[in-house]
């Protein structure tokens, strides 16, 4: 039995983030507990968050819930305090890396794993100008301190210029469909972060197309997104559904024609995997991290940030229902290889080998 401390700011119910890293953390740790291990997850506080446990999987929320910014930075401070006090009680520490809240776990333990997702690079400077410089530098140098690294893709390792093992994101095998159906709208589901997820590009792209777009998700830009929909006179065409989870989320993807992921940067994109599992093609921006969608034949890509190219790809697919069905079938075949159950065995083996290794 291993006693593991997992440090990650994000949590699946966090109204500000609730992204793929949080889903991964929950799905893998839930399975580690079933294998007989004990996992404590230290995560960022948000309004009304309460500590809870599911058997030997415990969630502790630390920091301030007054605002997203305060929550992120106070999490770092509180996590370091927690590590000082309790770090040695654990056999192993897993730190999920984000440049906004490095918790310097290497100062408190010698059995450590850093999990890396996406590298934002110059996007940080583009977004925050000079204020982004410290985070740009943290992202550049911090991961290089760690010896044991898990990445969600080879591309992430290359971009960070580090060595590590790849354990990708996955899907729950229960959602894999056998039959593909044509829906009646195009969909986006994910964090409502306009810049990161390229939602501005998507709204521009659908302006002149006769199609219904449904957007699901939560995040800090919800109000701004609604204003944008009004500004572009898209109230009749675009429907914002808010946050969907579990069965509702899968039903939303399943009933679509296809999904859109217009991200400016991304890690691996669990939504693309979930779409594949239910037989739905995805139109993705042509960033390297999402190239597996076209390589495995379950979607199309468009030139990142080009709303005209995205518009062309949407029209192209809308005119070809037989292609939508074929891409959907390809997606199902791909998703069968990437279930959380299979990935959790790889994850557990990596962690147990690390504890046994006394070097």
pLDDT, position 359: 43
**Could you tell me if 208 and 327 lie in one domain?**
yes
**Could you tell me if 101 and 47 lie in one domain?**
yes
Domain that holds residue 132: 3-170+339-356
Distance (Å, whole) CA 61 – CA 51: 6
Q: What is the CATH number of the domain that holds 279?
A: 3.40.50.2000
Q: How far is residue 354 CA from its own chain's centroid?
A: 25
- Which tokens in the block code for residue 267? 């890690």
**Could you tell me if 267 and 301 lie in one domain?**
yes
pLDDT, position 77: 96
**Could you tell me if 129 and 29 lie in one domain?**
yes
* Count of structural domains, the chain: 2
pLDDT, position 358: 55
**Which stretches in the chain have pLDDT values below 50?**
359
Q: Is the pTM of this model over 0.85?
A: no
**Could you tell me if 148 and 180 lie in one domain?**
no
- Three-state secondary-structure class, residue 256: coil
DSSP letter for 285, please. Answer: E
Give yes or no for a contact between 81 and 100, defined as CB atoms under 8 angstroms apart: no
**Could you tell me if 121 and 220 lie in one domain?**
no
**Could you tell me if 31 and 54 lie in one domain?**
yes
- Which tokens in the block code for residue 127? 């977004």
């Amino acid at each position: 039995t291993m006693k593991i401390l997992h440090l990650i700011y994000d949590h699946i119910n966090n109204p500000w983030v609730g992204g793929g890293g949080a889903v991964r953390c929950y799905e893998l740790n839930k399975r580690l507990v079933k294998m007989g291990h004990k996992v404590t997850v230290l995560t960022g506080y948000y309004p009304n968050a309460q500590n809870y446990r599911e058997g030997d999987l415990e969630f502790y929320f630390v920091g301030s819930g007054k605002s997203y910014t305060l929550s992120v930075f106070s999490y770092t401070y509180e996590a370091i305090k927690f590590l000082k006090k309790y770090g040695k009680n654990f056999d192993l520490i897993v730190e999920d890396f984000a440049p906004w809240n490095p918790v310097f776990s290497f100062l408190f333990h010698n059995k450590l794993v850093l999990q890396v997702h996406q590298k934002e690079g110059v996007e940080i400077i583009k977004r925050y100008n000079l204020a982004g410089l410290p985070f740009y530098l943290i992202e550049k140098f911090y991961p290089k301190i760690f010896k044991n690294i898990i990445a969600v893709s080879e591309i992430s390792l290359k971009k960070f210029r580090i060595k590590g093992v790849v354990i990708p994101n996955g899907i729950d095998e229960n959602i894999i469909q056998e039959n593909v159906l044509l829906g009646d709208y195009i969909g986006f589901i994910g964090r409502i972060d306009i810049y990161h997820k390229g939602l501005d590009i998507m709204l521009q792209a659908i302006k002149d197309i006769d199609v219904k777009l449904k957007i699901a998700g939560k995040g800090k830009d919800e109000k701004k997104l609604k204003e944008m929909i009004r500004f572009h006179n898209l109230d009749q065409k675009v429907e914002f559904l808010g946050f969907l989870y579990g069965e509702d989320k899968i039903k939303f993807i399943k009933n679509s024609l296809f999904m859109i992921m217009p991200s400016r940067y991304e890690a691996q994109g669990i939504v693309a995997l979930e779409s594949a599992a239910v037989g739905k093609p995805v139109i993705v921006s042509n960033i390297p991290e999402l190239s597996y969608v076209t390589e495995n034949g379950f979607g199309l890509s468009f030139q990142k940030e080009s709303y005209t190219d995205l518009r062309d790809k949407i029209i192209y697919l809308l005119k070809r229902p037989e292609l939508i069905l074929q891409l959907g079938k390809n997606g199902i075949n791909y998703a069968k290889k990437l279930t959380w159950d299979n990935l959790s065995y790889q994850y557990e083996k990596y962690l147990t080998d690390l504890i046994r290794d006394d070097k």
